[in-house]
Structure 1
Amino acid sequence: MTWSPRLVALDIDGTLFSAPHGSSVVDETISPAVLQAVARAVDADVPVVLATGRSTFGMTHVVELLDLRRRDPHGQVLAVASNGSVVFSHPPVEVLEAVTFDASDVVRRILDQMPQVLVAVEEVGVGYRVNRHFPDGEINGQITLQSVEELVAEPVTRVIVRDPESSEEDFHRLAEDAGLHDISYFIGWTAWLDLAPKGVSKASGLADVAARLGVPAQDVLAIGDGRNDIEMLQWAGRGVAMGQASDDVQAVADHVTDTVHADGVARELERWFPA
């Protein structure tokens, strides 16, 4: 029996948008080839679900860029935000599932190691509360300044830790020294650390979406490039790593496609939804 995807899950940064290694700012354009390939999947009545570390606020315009509602302009699209902590539908944004955790202890341990870091907690659908301002363009939405104690006084869906003066390698050491074994965490291509509830990942968020749509994991095609995509690629029936992904991401994938600059998403989708 020939396999074909019944649901397509796509990461955004480094998969749809180019994201230079070592940078936290991306080029928010999608190539015509990728747009056309996604459109063919949607026209084949296969749901396309965005699964990203971005907040809901940073995702809705990508839904519109991809025209994911093209088959039913009055319908809603499901998406996974905040590395799996939030599942929502759009438009309008309606949070269907939000997993929270007490981040006070882990943030304290991190600040004991690196007191200079920037800390942000997500306000779902609104923006972020931060201890100090992040570099321009790195986070969006409404930004509210608070003390660290205020940031983590109540359970949150996600914490971002950032230090523009440090490196990715510094943050790998930070994760080890701070003992981040009681939560889920993801380190980006720069000194950027996402903290999430234990057991939460893009895979857990997608499992929620797939269950709502009645699609088993083995019928899901997932494409991504980052370490926060590893669980998703392992969970999906077909996990595909982008060509520029690091070795540890490619190692868990069923297939490695071209790079984001060579329209890797389009190359993979053309297998299942030919022009």
Structure 2
Amino acid sequence: MSQKLIAIDLDGTTLNNQSLISLRTAEVLEKAKKAGHYVSIATGRPFRMSEQFYRQLKLDTPMVNFNGGLVHKPYQQWEFEREISLSKEIAFDILAQKEKLKLDFVAAENRETFYINDLNDFEGHFFATDTVTEANLFTNLTTDPTSLLIKTKHEFSSHVSDSLTKQFANQIDVRTWGGPNAILEIVPKGVQKAMSVSVIADSLNIDQKDVIAFGDEHNDLELLDYAGWGVAMKNGTDQLKGVANDVTSDTNEEDGLANYLEKYLAL
């Protein structure tokens, strides 16, 4: 079988419902690597919230963070690396509307920095970081961020999303995070995972037809559509299953990715 690039989403896909990689999933991905395939993480999470999985899987491949906003080779200089940023003025504009839009916080980050305007509503474990700078964003944010996170209440989130999309029409895309909190992520317009996974494929001389991708959510749509073989998780959204080549028989809680990959690659 030709060498494959296996692009894996984390939440709801590689991770179980406890946000862990099971022993079985880790073993199958290790077997795939030993068989000569590349395994590459493509996640919406920043690097600080995905680094532990990169280490656990003992990867040395490039990876995608911020839904495509950053493609890099952790701990190394890599000639294809790129980070796509938003203008910091957008962060300032949104922060100025915090009361009007009923926002709990506004956070701005890139690979090096993470600033949040107010630590009262901050859950450190949720952001997996201790190196947060409580900041008057206006004075401390000196570089353009790759991603903004804003938290509101569920009942306001579609209004916030519509309002920001209108105001910054040609500059941003607003994506929602799944889960209990109403978190909106704001990324530069047109940023998505497929764009950055294609950079990785090119760097490894892997044809598009030899890219296998796994995902579960709307932020995996372009990725599954781009991949030569796109696989939606059984627990994935109907919209995603609509663009996928196939759907796993098991959920992320039942090692769906591992079971599928083992059969598909005859490991």
**Pair in the same fold by TM > 0.5:** yes
Q: Would the aligned equivalents of 1:77 and 1:91 in 2 still touch at CA under 8 Å? A: no
> Which amino acid is the alignment partner of residue 104 of structure 1?
E
Q: Does 1:139 align with 2:127?
A: yes
Q: Distance in 2 between matches of 1:93 and 1:143?
A: 25
Q: Secondary structure at the match of 1:87?
A: strand
Q: How far does the alpha carbon of each residue in 1:27-65 deviate from its partner, in whole angstroms, 9 at most, with x for none?
A: 242222211211121011111000011112222221221
1:77 matched to 2:61? The reply is yes
Deviating more after overlay: 36-45 vs 141-150: 141-150
Name which of 100, 108, 111 aligns with 2:85.
100
Q: If the length of structure 2 is used for normalisation, what is the TM-score?
A: 0.85
2:7 paired residue number: 9
- Write the deviation string for residues 199-230 of structure 1: whole angstroms up to 9, x where unpaired: 11111111111111111222211101122111
Paired with 2:77 and 2:175, the residues of 1 have a C-alpha distance of 25
Contact kept in structure 2, 1:184 and 1:196, CA below 8 Å? yes
Amino acid at match of 1:116: L
Considering only aligned residues, what root-mean-square deviation do their CA atoms show, in Å?
2.5
CA distance in 1, matches of 2:148, 2:231: 27
Structure 1 distance, partners of 2:126, 2:81, is 26
Indicate the residue corresponding to 1:22 in structure 2.
none
What does residue 234 of structure 2 align with? 243
Query: Structure 1 residues 214, 188: closer, same or farther in 2, change over 3 A?
Result: same
Other structure's SS at 1:194 match: strand
Letter in 2 for 1:138: F
Q: Which residue of 2 aligns with 1:123?
A: 110
Aligned to 1:23: none
Say whether residues 1:268 and 2:256 are aligned partners: no
Q: How many residues align?
A: 255
SS for the counterpart of 1:111 is: coil
Q: C-alpha distance in 1, partners of 2:241/2:156? A: 23
Deviation sequence 1:164-215 (CA, Å, 0-9, x none): xx22x64233212332542223212141111111111111111111111111
- Stretches of structure 1 lacking an aligned partner (at least 5 in a row): 20-26, 69-75
Question: In 2, distance between residues paired with 1:37 and 1:260?
Answer: 14
Q: Could you report, residue by residue, the CA deviation over 1:228-272 in whole angstroms, capped at 9, with x for unpaired residues?
A: 111111111111111112222222222121210111111220233
Q: Deviations over 1:97-134 (max 9, x none)?
A: 1111215337635637524331111131x451111232
Identity, % of aligned pairs? Answer: 27
CA separation of 1:43/1:113 partners in 2, compared to 1, >3 Å: closer, same or farther? farther
Q: For the Cα contact (< 8 Å) 1:4–1:272, is it kept in 2?
A: no
Q: 2:74 aligns with which of 90, 98, 109?
A: 90
The separation in 1 between residues aligned to 2:227 and 2:159, in whole angstroms, is 30
The answer to whether residue 173 in structure 2 is matched with residue 184 in structure 1 is yes
Cα drift, residue 151 of structure 1: 6.2
1:71 maps to which residue? none
Q: Secondary structure at the match of 2:87?
A: coil
1:56 equivalent among 40, 47, 56: 47
Shift of the 245–107 alpha-carbon distance from structure 1 to 2, 3 Å rule, reads farther
Question: Residues 107 and 53 from structure 1, CA distance in 2 versus in 1: closer, same or farther, beyond 3 angstroms?
Answer: farther
Task: Name the CA shift for 1:33/1:160 in 2 (closer, same or farther; >3 Å).
Answer: same
Q: In the alignment, does 2:151 pair up with 1:162?
A: yes
Letter in 2 for 1:205: S
Gap runs ≥5 in structure 2 = none
| Alignment map for 1:202-241 (pairs within 5 Å) | 202-241=193-232
The amino acid that maps onto 1:55 is P
**1:31/1:102 CA distance change after superposition, 3 Å:** same
Contact 2:108–2:116 under 8 Å retained in 1: yes
Distance 1:107 1:175 in 2: 17
